[in-house]
Every structure is written in structure tokens, then in C-alpha cells.
Amino acid sequence: MSEFITATADSVLRRSQLYHLQQSEGAQFAKYQDAVVVKQFSSNDSQQVKSLGVADLSTLPRSGFKGKHTPQWLEQQGVTIPEQPNCATKQNDGALVARLSEQEHLILSDLAMAGSLAQILEQSWSIEPDYMCYSLPRRDSHAWLYLSGEHVRAMLAKVCGIDLSAVEFANGQIAQTSIARINGILIRDDLNDDTAGFHLLCDSSSVIFVWQSLLDAMAEFDGKPVGLAALLEN
Amino acid sequence: MVNSQQNNRLASGGLLVDREHPITFSFAGKDFIGFAGDSIASALAANDQWLISRSFKYHRARAVLTMAGQDANTLVQLPSDPNVLADRTEISQGMRVDGQNYSGSLENDLGRHIEKVGRFMPVGFYYKAFYKPAGVWEKWAPLIRKKAGLGEIDEQFEPEYYDKAYAFYDIVVVGAGPAGMSAAIQAAEQGAKVLLVDENPVLGGSLSYDRLDAKGEVAPALRAGMIADIEASDNIDVMLEAICNGYFADNWLPVIQAKRLLKVRAKEMIMAVGALEQQAVFHNNDLPGVMMSSAVLRLIKLYGVRPGKRAVVLTGNEQGYSAALEMLDAGIEVVAIAELRDSPPISELMQAVSDRGVEIYQNHAVYAAQPSSDKKHLAQVELRAQLGRGACANSGELISCDLLCMAVGYTPTYQLVCQAGGQLSYDDESAVFTLKGLPKAAQIVGSVNGNWSTDAVCGDGYRAAVLACNRLAQQSKTITEISEPAPIADDSAASPNYSWPIFPHPKGKEFVDYDEDLQIADIVNATRDGYEHVQLVKRYSTCGMGPSQGRHSALATARIVAQATGKSVAQTGVTTARPPFAPERLGHLAGRSFYPARYTSMHQRHVEAGAQMLQAGAWYRPAYYGASDQRDACINAEVNNVRENVGLVDVSTLGGIELRGPDAAEMLNRIYTFGFLKQPVGRARYALMTNEAGVVIDDGVSCRFHDQLFYVTATTGGVDRVYQSMLKWNAQWCLDVDIANVTSAWCAVNIAGPKARDVLAKVCTDVDLDSEAFPYMGVREGHVAGIEARLIRVGFVGELGYEIHVPQHCGEALWDALMQAGSEQGIKPFGIEAQRVLRLEKGHIIIGQDTDAMSTPQEVQMGWAVSAKKPFFVGHRVIKELNEIGQYRALVGFVVDDLSAPIPLESHLVIEGEKMTGRVTSCNFSPTLGKPVGMVYVPPHKAEPGSEIEIRSSGGVMVTAKVVELPFYDPQTERQAL
Amino acid sequence: MKQMNCPLNGLRNISEFIYGGEYHPMPDPQQCDKREWVEHVFFHENAAGEVTEWWCHSATSYWFLARRNSITDEIIETFPASKLFNKRVDFSAAQGES
């Protein structure tokens, strides 16, 4: 597991599009490998994660691959790919591999960055003539949020027109849909047996709008932004 | 103390009121006391205040009619809320309620005198009287509207928070009466997730107030049992004081509760929406004190309020006797029952009423009602024997009373059902509307489905729930299937509808539509004026167009129109019912709407530099930097700095699409007009896109970074469409190419100006920036300030320039590095306003601004960007054919030499004699040329440089402009190739 | 709101989809006569009854086809484009392209 290193973020570090906003929201930042993350928003983060919280994971590693040879290439790299599109599978190193279509896959690092599948795949990939597996710059194109807690479904019902109830939307299921009128990828990945959780990936240029829309929808349930540290406790 | 003021409050009873909690409120300036749970109307009735409003047209006194929010009589004004239904709105401490639509006071409305001239105001009066001479309506309208207006809006209102949410259920049941409750209970039993919606504050529907047996024991027991079942079920969500306000495709239901609009998707829907009681139509049937039997029952049972002291019942069904028994139990004197039917079979209820000594007048109608001397309440009714359909004997018996209870029948609450596709028909025999033809996952149950007796109503709910669950069970793990119940036996014998409760009177005032003060003659006259179809009757007479939307006028109107036109009621039908069912607040529609906004990764830097941001599409972009009162000066300075030194503009919003694979070049070759197969690696080409009709729809630059990798830019607003269009084409062509929209993965700046290279050289050392090594339209990969970058030498603004594309997260770092590196050269940021001027000076078009839905490449002088040798590209064939025909207009440049003339603006017209022959697409003052320059569509004969055109500029001033060769600036293109 | 079954994403609100026009096969742009091409580009059947249409699921930019009854608005079936298009389409070779 990576260590949080207390740091004042400067422009050479990988920062989230939400950085300036989070500064004004009282975030405590830390350096975490090559990136700046919000370590903590308040001392209540741990409780918040269980009731309703949103964490910004945008600076954590992730990668994507697309093209007709992609499933074959990923399997060669030892990745277990989900059998069906719109399903996600946990890898041995903790990474989550989400199959977005027959050919397109998204790899999300585990939150502790204990493993490094997303980075390893990106590094071992190169463009080969006539071999159709192409890297997608997912760490830049998409922002990554994690929503969790008892009220997460009721809150998402205010911004997303898909039935996310536990019965209809199983753990590991993916919905690519409109969230607050922004196209996004929603992946159910419960924090643990007691706490429901969803990854939300959206266009990075839209994340400020999405963040504000979510906080507005969360207010009714006393939902708050949380830091990464509280998620790692679970 | 408190109770003493509520003279009409019964000693006990009132399901909804809490006698422990008195509430003080005011109405029309007077203080009243009611109980918590009282509606405004019930609390006023408890205090003997019956007059609630003045009617729309004649300002007649109006009062409680339905006690169910189905009429406009109870519309009142709250301080910040007009047109509130007093019979559906609960009182609260200190609430200030006023009447509406009167001048002077509610009690003494000066407008009531208009009734005296009422006979000179027939239906269509306003159309006829104020139609001619032309213009006269404009003068009258404000006065008439003032007279006719209802409530007043509060212009000082404070915005409130309304929102929306989605919800999903296996089965949604609308209406929590016996039918709806039965359905919900059974569906939950079979494992379905159920939402039960009702507009009332308690479950039970008619069981909450109706009397099913002589002793009045059946309904409360039945209700209590069902409520216990519902409360015990984990599968039923109950929403009370919630209204399902419409039906949309595939069981999509807007359910409004408090300040939230719930968008509910139901796999199956069961409508148990009940039926609406209808009034009898006779002279002065609108007097306060004349009300529906269901209103009488509601007042007594729901609120413990005595609806009158001395009552007459007009009935054609059992419910009149239910009401009579209830009144007798409440200590109200029931002096007579006018039974419309001739010798109906003696029922248990009728017998009970008779046993209590109430005289029943068989085959009698109420021919007329007469008011008290102040015209504010019923004082007596005239009973006459019926001679035939709508006809009465010449004289009758006058009976004094202060309450007339009408029980003559119902219409199904057809609105939601018809929105779902249900067809309404009428059985002339039983005088009942029936509904058929619902979508496959929607059902109607209970009285809306023509069932009236309790067993049939409950059985209907049960049956529908089983059918729905059995259908769902096929695809559900939680829902079980059970054997299908037998169909419900025909229950039409229990129909409460009396066939013709309509009694014309020589003095009129037999109201069909209370909202609009429409009488029998108005409806008949509308048909005589030629408006025979019920839809035309509605629009001509305004019948059914008031706040209650025909809820109590549709049936009577259909009957009267049918009779007047010699058709059957079934043939006549009713008018279309559209959503919303009940009024909804703008807040519900406006609340929590999403207006997406996109920000580039350099946004913070623009804000810090004092940029005026504007939203273009969803993107926030810097318009210019500096104070808004210095706008033009700021823009001119930015333009000059680019021309003289070096400027930096954020172009992150440009679209970016990557095409990769063996067929990447082939794909581009088919999508864009130029040739791309032989585009060298390391070079960029202009990429112009046309649609199949040969119309220019987007442009960008295609950069080849690898034999099988192209990075293509697209316009900010067009990229999503371009990307989708590429995917659609390749879904058909099956080329070996992968297409990815990477717009948000990259941010970009354009550093432009004669000193651009000097600045870039300081922070980019791994790319040879020499013009020979990295020429105009070259592309390179390298590092800028240590950041991996794609560099493209382009000339959109007409100067030496580099577009630098870097990963999104590096935006601020790139911006900071270049601003710092360029400080010596006087680098300054510039916004999109300056960029627009710069590109205009250079004669570059903006797709969508300088092109329209008809612009071909030839017209916009882009013929050079179209390959004549390719076998195919999208738009190829049409462009080829059009070139043979020749063009009818051309986009050309123009200058205005007269500096005193108003500068033409976009869309100003080119005028030749009497004709419009063109329009301006772009025009700005050019700081570089010192005069206005622009682009304009002109006919071919004006396209030659040197032609003079006349442009109608602001204020109609004609401005002479001269057509010139494009570009305006640097025609030899020396500067961008530096 | 109407729903449509996306072959990739399942049943979704119609607001998630973009209409892509009627499906009709493209005539050979080299061989067909002018009228045939003009009708292909500018004329639409706008048929009353069963029609086949292009639809795109906007969040995934996934194109597919739908058979729909334009009178009742019933969507009869949706299917991937590969059901109709499964081999590479080529146009006659370029003539000395630069």
C-alpha cells in the first residue's frame, strides 16, 4: 500500500480537475505516488463513507484498451476479462477490469495502489502495425469518482435514470448512461458487504459540473465529500 | 372557547382532523379557528362561512361543491400562491387566505351586477362583440382580462428548492381506494415491489367516507383490515398526498409529492383512479348549499363538519340514501328525498331512510333552487314531478332548506386512462362511460372500470394484480405466479348513473360548467352557431377549459350536445384529456434541471488573469481578458499583440479524434474531402467534412503521427457529431480502423505571433523548431517544459503559430511554462473574441457561422480542399453534380471604407433594389486594417472583387461595402510560414 | 418516456438515444444514375407501418438498427449493425490520387 506524503501540491504533480474546488472545500491533500490526492476532508470521513460520501479518485492510475484484438491481448497479459460487456471483474492484484463493449476495456487500479496492473499494461503496450489493440488515455479523458454509503442509491436516483437497486443491478454490473445529463460510466463495486458503492467515470472536462450536481443531490442525505484515507480503512 | 366558534362542527367524528390542535387562520380578512387536518374549506364550513369565491363570468357566489378539489369554486389566494384549492389545502397556523375574482369584497362583490346583463352576453359574446373593427380587441382586452382574472402572482416571491428523482417499481397502483388497495395487497403478496399512490392524506378512498350498509359498519371495518395488510407488507411503498399527474409511454409516470417530481417507471400499472360525481343540471344549481352527495359525506366523515341544518336529497341512486342516513346520524334534518327514478327496487339503505320517517318523492326532480335574500346561500328548492326526459310538471312543491345533496351519478376518472391510450365509450342504455383499449402493461380497476359494488371493486383489484404479477413472473426471481381468477361478473346493474338529470329552465342559470359559468343554452347555442363537434363546442364555448378541466361538465356537455345534434352520447364523446391531470407548479418542472458545463484544465488560469468567461455550448471559454467596460480595447490589444509579438490562446475545446489501424487513412479518405492516403507521417492536412448532400459540416486538421495513427481535430461544437458519424459509416463499411474520441484527454494551446518560435524554443528542446526542419503544416512529437506534447504548425490566426497538445492534467503546467518563457517577448493571453477577429482578417471561415445548411465547398471558396480524383467520399457525388450546375451564391470578403457607417452585423442583409440577395456571416472592426471587414454571401454577379454591395445595417442604415479578395491580411501567406 | 432496448446496453429511456435516420442501402455511387443518387440522399420513405431505422446509444456512441411500427410507435426489435453489414465495403480504386 502506498503512503500518503504530506505535500503542498504544485503544478508538476498530477492533480485533479477538482483540485481548486476541493481547496475551497477544505480538503487536505497529500502526495500519493505520482499524484496529488485528497487524503481527508474531515475527521468524520469514515462515518461519511458509510452514510453517503463522494471521493475523487481522478488522479489514481487507470488505463483503457480498444480494438478488435484487445480481448486477446489482455488475456495474453494475464488479465481475466469479464465474459459479457457491461460487467467488471476484480483481478488478483485488486485492479478492476471493466468490459465496456466487446472490444473496449477499462482497467481501474485498486484504491491502495497495491497492485499496478493499469500502469503495467500501459507500459507494455505499443502500437503494432495491423494489430488492433489501442491504448486509450483514460487517466486524462475521464475523471473518476467513488460514491458510497447507505443513501447512495437514493441519491443517484436524483441524477440517473437507471434502476440501481440491489436486486436489479448486481455487484460488478456496469451502466453506461447519462448522469446529470453527462455521459458517464457507473460501476457497482461495493465497498464491503455492508456498504454499497459505485465508481463513476465521466468526461474530465465535465467533472466540476458533475461534482457540484452530486453534492447538491447529496445534501438531502447529509452527504459530503470524503478523502481517500477513509476508503482505505474499509 | 375555541369550539364555540365552530358552530357547524359535529360533536364527534372527522377522520382527518385533530380536535386537540386548534389552528387560527384568516379568510378575507376575518379570523377563523379550525383544527389541524382541516382543509381551508372544511374549516370555513365549520364556521358557517360557505361563500368562498366569486364565479368567473357572472361573479356569482360559490361554495363547496365536491370537497375533492374537482371544481374551481374553492379556488382561493394565498399570499404567495394564487388558485389554491381550498378543499384540498390544509390550514396552518397564521395562514392568510383570500378570495379571488372580486372587486370590493368577497361578500359584497361589485362585479356581481354583471349578471344582470348576462342575457346580453351569450356564448361567443367576446368573439362576436370585439372582433370588429380591427384593433378594437387590443383596447378591450386589458379591461376584460382584468375583470375576468383569477388569482394574483406574488412578484416578490423567494425561489424555493424543488427537485426530481427517478423511481422504479414492478407495479404502480394509482388510487388507494378499495380497488387499488386490493390490487396492491395482492401484488405484494405475490412478491412484487409496489408503489401505491393517492392524492389524499389517508388510505381508503371512498371507504373513508362512504356508507355501504344501513348501520355504517362495513366500510370502516373493510378499510381498517386493508390498511393493516398494507402496513404489514414490506413490498408496498405508500405515497400519500401525491398525485400521478400524467401517463407517458411505457408506463412512465410523473408523481408529484410536496416539492419533488418523481419520474416513476412501472413495469405494470394499475389505475384505480375512481370516478367523479356529477352534478344535476337545474336552475341555480350553483348556489352555496348545493353540493355533491360525496361532498356531504366527506364533510361529515372526514372533517366532522355539518354540511347544513335542513337538507333535501336529490338522488337517482343508492348514494343519496347513504348520505341521507349519514346526515340523519349527524343530527341534520332531512326533509325530503327527490327520487329521480320511478319506483326503484327498495334497497336496504332506502328502507332505512324510509323507516326514519323521511318522505321520498318518487319520480321527482329538483326543478329549481332559490337563494336567500342576500343571494349567498340556498334557501329553498322546488320539487316537481318528472314528465319525461328533462321535462317536469308545470308546478311543484317549494321546500325550504339550506342544503341540497345531489346524487345522480359519476363519470370514470378517465383522464389518465385516456392519456394511456384508453378509448372512452358511452352506453346509452346504462348512461355510463366505459373505457377500453389500454396498453398491454396497464389496467384499470374499480369504479373507473365500471364496477360499483364492493365485492366487484375489490375483486377487480385482485384480478388485475394477479394478471400483472403473472406476466412479470416470467422474468422475475421474486414474483410468483398463481392461477388466474375468473373474470368479474358484469356489475352494470349497480351503476349509480341516472340517465338524464338535466332540467332546462326558462330563466337559465342551470350550470353545466361552473368554472366558466356555462348554462344549457350556451352549449346548445354553440352547436347552433355551427360548432357541432364536441371539440369545437369546447373551444367556442370554453366549456371544460377552466381549472377543473371538464371533470364535472364533460358528461353533461356530451349529453346536451348529443341531444342538440341528434346524435348518441357515444358518438359525441368527450374532449381529449392531456397531461397534467392536476395543476402543477412551475417549480416542479423547473426544479433540478441540469445545465452541463465543461471547463478546460486551464480554466483557473483564465480566471486569475481576469478573463471574461462566456459559455460556448457547454464549454466555458475566455472571451477576452480585462474589464468588461474596456471590451473593445482589450480585444484590439490582444489582436495587436498577436500580430506584433506573441499571444497564447486556450484551444483545449477543439475536438480530437484518433483513427488507428491499417485502414485509418482509408477511413479519413472517405470521410473528408481531401486526399489522405499519401499524407506523410509528420505532416498535417486540412480536413473538410461534407455530408451526403455535399454540405460543409465540419473542419479540422488531420495529423499523421504514425503510418497507422492519425490525430484529427474537429470543431468544438461538432466533434461529438463527427465522431458518431464516423462510427456510423464504419458500422456499414467494416474497415479495419479503430476510432476514439480523445477530446477530453488532451488540452491544447495555440502560441501564435512572430515571436512564437523564440518563446517555444526556450521550453522545447527536443524538437528542431527551425522552419526548414519543422515547416508550416508539420507535426512533431516532443516535450514542452518536460511535458509530452504533440506540436502542430497551423495558421488559423494567420501568424507563425504552434498548436501544442498535451495530456489534460498538464494544462496548467503548460500554460504557466509558456507564460513564463514568453514574458521577455511580451506574451499575453488572448481570448476567442480576438481569435475571431484574427481569423477573419486571415479569411478563415468558421463552420456553422460562415456556413449554413446549404453551403457547399465551392460556395465557401473551399474547392481547393476537395479531391477530384478520389473514387468516393461522403458528399462526393452531390458536389460533383452541383459543380456542373454552377453556384447561385458565393461567400466573399468585404470591407467598409466609410468609418462613420454603423458596422454591419451577422445576418444583416444585402439589398439590391427591392430584393434581398445575400447576408453577412461575419463582420468585425479589424484593428490591423483599421476598418470593418467581413464575409458575406452574395449572388455570383456580385462576387468579383471590386463589386459594390449595399448592406442594411443597424437601424435600417444602408451601408456601402466593397467586395475584396480574401484574405484581408497577408495574402501571400508569408507570416504563418515564417 | 418511451424505452428502447439497446443491443449493447439493454432497456433504456429513449432520451439516451439519437435517431440516425431511415436505413436504406446506398446505391453504387459510381454506377447509379443521377436520379437514383438524388433519391438516395434527399428522399425519405417516411413509410406508415414497419420501418427500419438507425439509432445510436449516446453514452456509448453505439450504432444499431431498430424495426419500428411508425403508426403505433411500437419497437418490434433492435439488432446490431453487424447483422446487416458483415463484410468490408470498397469503392473502385483511386485514380492517381495525390
The model's pLDDT over B87-130, given as tens digits with 9 standing for 90+, comes to: 999 999 999 999 887 777 888 877 777 676 666 666 666 666 66
**What pLDDT is stored for residue B266 in this prediction?**
98
Q: How many CB atoms lie within 10 A of CB B130?
A: 15
The reply to whether residue A11 touches residue B813, judged by beta carbons under 8 angstroms, is yes
The answer, yes or no, to whether residue B165 has pLDDT greater than 90, is yes
- Which residue would you say has higher pLDDT here, B622 or B158? B622
> Other CB atoms closer than 10 Å to residue C14's CB: what's the count?
15
Instruction: Give the per-residue pLDDT at A139.
Output: 94
Cα–Cα distance measured from residue B610 to residue C20, given in angstroms and rounded to the nearest whole number: 43
B149 pLDDT higher than 90:
no
Residue C97 lies in a domain: no
**Model pLDDT, residue A1:** 47
Q: Which residues of B touch A132 (CB under 8 A)?
A: 660-661, 736, 738
- pLDDT tens digits, B361-414: 999 999 999 999 999 999 999 999 999 999 999 999 999 999 999 999 999 999
Assigned C-alpha cell, B974: 508569408
Scanning C2-61 for CB atoms below 8 A from B yields 2-3, 14, 18, 20, 26, 29-30, 34, 37-38, 40-42, 54, 56, 61
Percent of chain B topping pLDDT 70:
96
Chain C residue whose CA is closest to A181 = C16
What lies within 8 Å, CB to CB, of B900 at 6+ separation is: none
The grid coordinates of residue B754 equal 512572430
With contact defined as 3+ CB pairs under 8 Å, the chains touching C are A, B
- For chain C, the maximum distance between any two Cα atoms, rounded to a whole number of angstroms, is 53
Reported as a single tens digit per residue, the pLDDT across B308-322 is: 999 999 999 999 999
Four-point Cα dihedral A126, A131, A132, A136, nearest 10: 0
Identify whether C78 is part of a domain.
Answer: yes
Grid look-up 463552420 returns B847
CB neighbours of B565 closer than 8 A, spacing ≥ 6?
B527, B532, B572
**CB < 8 Å to C16, chain A:** 161, 177-178
Mean pLDDT across the stretch B878-900? 93
- What pLDDT does A136 receive? 96
Report chain C residues whose CB lies below 8 A from the CB of B727.
Answer: 56, 61, 63
Q: Is residue C47 part of a domain?
A: yes
pLDDT at B209 over 50: yes
Calculate mean pLDDT across residues B618-636. Answer: 97
Residue B579 contacts C, CB cutoff 8 Å: no
Q: Identify the chains in contact with B, defined as 3+ C-beta pairs within 8 A.
A: A, C
> To 5 degrees, how large is the angle CA B761–CA B766–CA B771?
55
pLDDT of residue C96: 41
CATH, residue C45: 3.30.2270.10
C-alpha separations of B371 from B364, B379, B393, B406, B843 in Å: 21, 5, 22, 17, 82
Residue C44 lies in a domain: yes
pLDDT of residue B3: 39
Distances (CA, A) of B827 to B644, B785, B899: 10, 16, 31
Is the pLDDT at C95 greater than 50? The verdict is no
CB atoms within 10 A of CB A48: 23
Test A178 with C16 for CB contact under 8 angstroms: yes
Test the B interface: residue of A141, A162, A177 with most B CBs within 10 Å? A141
Q: What stretches of B362-485 show up as alpha helix (H) in DSSP?
A: 415-419, 454-473
What was the pLDDT predicted at B721? 95
> For residue A223, which phi and psi values (nearest 5 degrees)?
-70, 150
Q: Which residues pair with B173 in a beta bridge?
A: B196, B270
What confidence score (pLDDT) does residue B583 get?
85
3-state secondary structure of A154: helix
ipTM attached to this prediction: 0.96
Q: Would you say residue C92 lies in a domain?
A: no
Enumerate the residues of chain B whose CB falls inside 8 A of the CB of residue A68: 736, 738
Which residue range forms the structural domain that includes residue C28? Answer: 3-85
Interface contact A12-B744, CB threshold 8 A: no
Predicted confidence pLDDT, tens digits, chain A (234 residues):
456 666 554 545 789 999 999 999 999 999 888 889 999 999 999 999 999 999 999 999 999 999 999 999 999 999 999 999 999 999 999 999 999 999 999 999 998 888 899 999 999 999 999 999 999 999 999 999 999 999 999 999 999 999 999 999 999 999 999 999 999 999 999 999 999 999 999 999 999 999 999 999 999 999 999 999 999 997
B677/C contact by beta carbon, under 8 A: yes
How close are the terminal C-alpha atoms of chain C, in Å?
51
Q: Which residues of A touch C57 (CB under 8 A)?
A: 176
B-facing residues of C in 69-98 (CB < 8 A) are: 73, 81-82, 85-89, 91-98
d(CA A70, CA C16): 27
B751 has pLDDT over 60: yes
In a domain, C45, yes or no: yes
Instruction: Using an 8 Å CB-CB cutoff, list chain B residues near A139.
Output: 809
pLDDT at C93 over 70: no
A130 touches chain B (CB under 8 A): yes
Contact C59 A161 (CB under 8 A): no
B491 has a pLDDT exceeding 90: no
How far apart (Å, rounded) are the C-alpha atoms in residues B404 and B443? 36
How far apart (Å, rounded) are the C-alpha atoms in residues B341 and B362?
6
Q: For chain B, say whether A142 makes contact (Cβ under 8 Å).
A: yes
Report residue B548's pLDDT band, with 50, 70 and 90 as the boundaries. Answer: confident
Q: Is there a domain that residue C91 lies in?
A: no
> What is the count of structural domains for chain C?
1
Residues 881-940 of chain B with CB under 8 A from chain C are 881
Q: What is the pLDDT of residue B797?
A: 94
pTM of the entire predicted model: 0.92
Q: Which of A122-126, B303-307, B473-477 has the highest mean pLDDT?
A: B303-307
pLDDT band at residue B164 under the 50/70/90 scheme: very high
Give B632-655 pLDDT, tens digit per residue. 999 999 999 999 999 999 999 999
Which sign does the torsion angle of CA B854, B859, B862, B868 carry?
Answer: positive
- Percentage of the residues of chain B whose pLDDT score is greater than 90: 80
Q: For residue range B236-270, what is the model confidence (pLDDT) as tens digits?
A: 999 999 999 999 999 999 999 999 999 999 999 99
- Beta strand residue intervals within chain A, DSSP E: 5-6, 28-32, 35-40, 53-56, 62-66, 87-90, 96-99, 105-108, 134-136, 142-148, 174-179, 182-188, 197-203, 224-226
Q: Is residue C90 part of a domain?
A: no
What pLDDT shows up at residue B926?
95
